[in-house]
Amino acid sequence: MFEDRYKSMYEQIVPDESLISKTIERINQQAGSKKSKAELYDTKLNGNEPYRTWLPKAKQSKGIRLFFKCATAAAVILVFTFAVMPAIAANVPVIYELMYMVSPSTAQFFMPVQKSCEDNGIRMEVVSTYIHEDTAEVYITLQDLTGNRVDETTDLYDSYSIHLPFDSSATCDLVGYDEKTRTATFLIRITQWGNRRIEGSKLTFSVGCFISGKRAYEDVPIKIDLSSVGKSPKTKETKIYGVSGPNVDKYLPIDKSIVDRTATVIVPSDTIYSPADGFDITGIGYVDGMLHIQFATADRSKNDSHGYFYLKDKDGNKILYDYSVGFVEYGEPGNEDTKIVYDEYIFDIPQDEISNYALYGSFYTSGLYTEGNWQVTFPLQSKDVEQ
């Protein structure tokens, strides 16, 4: 009964001819444009520091592809959200523009859910689901009802939980943002382990916090003369929480679990240089013939601050670090408010050659951390589709 009524409502949504013409014209103009998608993003300068809202370059191209690739998905979400209320849809021309970028028949595969939860002025809504065999695709939106805490950089920051009665793997990606309504849309993909159908189960999706207002400081020159770097900084052996880098296996072979691994690091000092707001260089020097550079960040759990160093030769060629390690120290043992996270980057370049290089870095952080308690439980149901 509901399905027939829903289908009838959906089929009644027809834009006027002028809107169709306008949309087709816009698509043709975009297809003929020589601008890259990256140029569509806002780039700003903050004093002498390179600053850009949205994502780091390494992730930006992926983000751009995601937004454009998921135009179909965004259209499907909007079709289902507004098809239930044609009167509302009639007042939102952008919905039609999205619909006419793809075939409206795509929407038949998704089942409307429209269950929501509000806390701290933020509404989280499960919009629609698509169940096929052992996979579920779920569209969820976050909307700020009172301010501007939700933006195009909103990140659930691993604070979300997916509760299911079976083992599974899942991903959650930002796929769109509507500035008018301050609404971010996320696509959750869940795959059940064991290759069994998951239709009929219930899913509980919860979020405890999110971050937004991301800032990027890229290709920042570090004003430290590498030729004057000392040979014997004070070092210590400490437990590390993570490693990375293209040559980490060469220098730190995996002979034990990460929780038991240690590394030689520079003993952190007072701030030597601050390349960006919230990032402090606390150690630099040669250890066992390799250049070590260390930076510290505080409140990382609330701002996702991260970055990396690299070198450039006299021709401007970029030389990445060989490996890096991360470790944590507390001003007061066990007090999370006093936790400082350190990352140390190591370059295998002889000291007598280091004067041929200049030090650079790229750093990323967010300006807003929002807490709340959002939770929605809904069934994983497929929509019967007439063949």
pLDDT of residue 255: 66
Q: Is residue 316 in a domain?
A: yes
320 and 345 share one domain: yes
Looking at per-residue pLDDT, the higher value among 336 and 273 belongs to 273
Residues 307-342 have pLDDT tens digits of 999 999 999 999 999 999 999 999 888 788 889 999
Residue type, 360: Y
% of the chain beyond a pLDDT of 90: 42
Q: Which residues sit opposite 111 in a β-bridge?
A: 129
One domain, residues 207 and 236: no
Alpha-carbon distance of 92 to 295, in angstroms, equals 48
Residue of 280, 343, 345, 286 lying closest to 311 (CA atoms): 345
Q: How many residues does the chain have?
A: 387
Q: Are residues 198 and 306 in the same domain?
A: no
In a domain, 167, yes or no: yes
Break the chain down into helix, strand, coil percent, rounded to 5. 25, 45, 30
Mean pLDDT along residues 219-241: 93
Distance CA 29, CA 334 (A): 58
In this predicted structure, the answer to whether residue 353 has a pLDDT above a threshold of 60 is yes
Higher pLDDT, 376 or 54: 376
Tell me, what CATH number does 112's domain have?
2.60.40.1630
Give the confidence band of 274 by pLDDT, cuts at 50, 70, 90: very high
- 3-state SS class at 225: coil
Domain extent for 204: 91-214+372-380
What is the structure's pLDDT at 289? 95
What pLDDT, on a 0 to 100 scale, did the predictor assign at position 111? 52
Residues 340 and 273 both lie in one domain = yes
How far apart CA 130 and CA 268 sit, in angstroms, is: 51
| pLDDT higher than 60, residue 387 | no
Q: Are residues 257 and 197 in the same domain?
A: no
| Residue 314: per-residue pLDDT | 94
Specify whether 190 is located in the same domain as 235: no
Give residue 157's pLDDT: 79
Tens digits of per-residue pLDDT, 53-106?
Answer: 333 333 333 332 333 333 334 444 444 343 333 333 332 333 334 333 433 443
Residue 234 sits in the same domain as residue 205:
no
Number of C-beta neighbours around residue 111 at 10 A: 19
Q: Residue 15 falls within a domain, yes or no?
A: no
Q: 204 pLDDT exceeds 80?
A: yes
% pLDDT > 70, the chain: 65
Range 209-239 burial, b when 16+ CB lie within 10 A, else e: bbbbbbbbbbebebebebeebeeebebeebe
| Contact predicate 217/364, CB 8 Å | yes
Q: CA–CA separation, 28 vs 8, rounded Å?
A: 31
Confidence of residue 192 (pLDDT cuts 50, 70, 90): confident
Residue 143 lies in a domain: yes
When mean pLDDT is compared over 40-49, 97-106, 192-201, 265-274, the highest value belongs to 265-274
Q: Are residues 234 and 340 in the same domain?
A: yes
What average pLDDT is seen over the chain? 74
pLDDT in tens, 136-188: 888 899 999 999 999 999 998 778 888 777 677 888 889 889 999 999 999 88
C-alpha separations of 55 from 41, 175, 234 in Å: 10, 13, 36
314 part of a folded domain: yes
- 138-to-112, 126, 128, 153, 350 alpha-carbon distances in Å: 10, 7, 6, 20, 52
Lowest mean pLDDT among 19-23, 43-47, 97-101: 43-47
Q: Is residue 312 part of a domain?
A: yes
Helix (H, G, I), strand (E, B) or coil at 329: strand
Quote the CA–CA distance of 196 and 182 in Å, as a whole number.
Answer: 38
pTM for this model (two decimals): 0.63
Distance CA 244, CA 251 (A): 11
